[in-house]
Structure 1
Amino acid sequence: MNLYIAQAVFIYLAPPVYSAAAYNIVGRLMNYLPMHAVFHPDRVLIVFVYAGAAVEGITVAGAAKYAAAGDDTAQYKSGGVLIAVGLILQAAVECLVIAVVAMIHTRAAKAGTVPRNVRTLCMTLYGTSTFVLLRCIFRVVESFEMFGNIGCEENCGPILSNEWYLFAFELGPMLIFTFWLNLLHPGRFLPRNKRRYLDTDGRTERMGPGWSDRRDPWETFLDPLDFQGKIKGQVSHDQYWLRPDEWSICEDGSFAEGTASNVKSTQTRREKVLRAGEV
């Protein structure tokens, strides 16, 4: 029974935890495109992780009660309700992630600065979040089917009676998510240093000071979109990208043009070639 409970918990727990990788990419993308950031880039991971932690707590509690219910119908139902609530909240979080990425993508497109690396990352985030969303919808439908067939021993509904649904809508999306994120690893498209950003010309990369908010940290948590600053007509963060001449140009290539890399051996090799060319 204990192994079965652990198995149920981990199956429901894994996809939301895995989604945290995508949340981190969104924050790093905002650091790379600070002029198009929806809110404080360094708050993205924290906001979504806290939301994900709440979802995780509900889902884990539900999975544990559901797996340990045995013949206790009331516990079985309460566990299922918690799982359904957790899945719906997870779907809402994924929709919010897609909306944030869409806002960044739209702003960059309007400014005419959507290089290949940014476009690839946006497509990756759209795709991976959609797969998690698809999985959540499947699990919600499955949970409602369970409620309608309590005590059923056979022909309990198509999802409960056919294992291929599980492979198609749980295993399949998560497997594609895994391969997609590894084949198009964000380390190939974003700089390691968060201070490095893409200039408004869409090609040049500069080493800026990093995102700086003049407000108290608690204010950035309570008002991440800086509504107060927008109402006053003066944003609370430093728009350092409007002063490009103050920041040095990165001489080791550009991720926007596919000539930069986070791999140290590649950087060293490129530096040697540049020095040889100068000689």
Structure 2
Amino acid sequence: MDVRRLETLLLLSRRGSMRAVADETHTTTSAVSQQIAALAREAGIALIEPDGRRVRLTPAGRRLAEHAVTILAALEAARLDLDPSAEPAGTIRVAGFGTAIRRSLMPVLSRLAADHPKVRVRIHEHEPAEALSLIAADDIDLALTYDFNLAPATPDRSVVSQPLWSTEWALGVPATDPVSGDPEHSAAAVFARYRDHDWIVNSRGAADEQVVRTIASMAGFEPLVTHRADSLALLQDLVVAGLGIGLLPADQPTRPGVRLLPLRNPCPILRTSAVVRAGRTGWPPLALLLSLLQTVPARV
């Protein structure tokens, strides 16, 4: 139904005559009558009936006028919600991996609550592939994802990515291992020492496994992937138990029994991004959150 015709019907219900509506809208009674007649055709039912020399709304007309109040209010709310100059308001659906949620999102939530109470955030923990699928299905508004410099994400024109922070990764091995991590040695040289070991990779994403296989190929061997774990804490437990070795972030403390061997030339670097659907960055609540995420210090 045409919004302007709904506005005319609502005015008629409140002013009581087409003349009053015409005066308020600076038009003619004929134009008002035409608007109501066109709306009646859209609705498929009579909306007004004669009342002496005037008209009055039929029961159907009164019900439609009541609906018009809700419809017009919702449209105004939508207009304000999308107005770049308006106070940001709305619910942002965010999906991301745990580290990015803790490191990037959590620090800004208190600022959002204090300075922009009309903006709400719903958080879902997902690995990048899962989060990107949710973005594609329009089930979320923002994805916090990662890739590696040695396993870059495939470009996608349907989304816009905003870099957040990055961190180097190292090889996690048992602390009792006699092999030392010489910074002068290349990553391939470090990997070559562990060609006969079992390897641990992520169970829900392929990026770190691709990094492992890339560096191993430079060292001339195919790694034996024996265990898969989504949790970095579990990966460390497996390392301590002597069940394998795997990649871990170099800027995070490890549990007792795990030692990190630095990797150079090449050095695996995990890169995080805030990803939104193309064309959505102008939505005020999302634009606000994206700008706040940029204020979180980036560390390499």
Q: TM-score normalized by structure 2?
A: 0.21
Compare the two structures and name the one with the higher helix fraction: 1
Q: TM-score normalized by structure 1?
A: 0.23
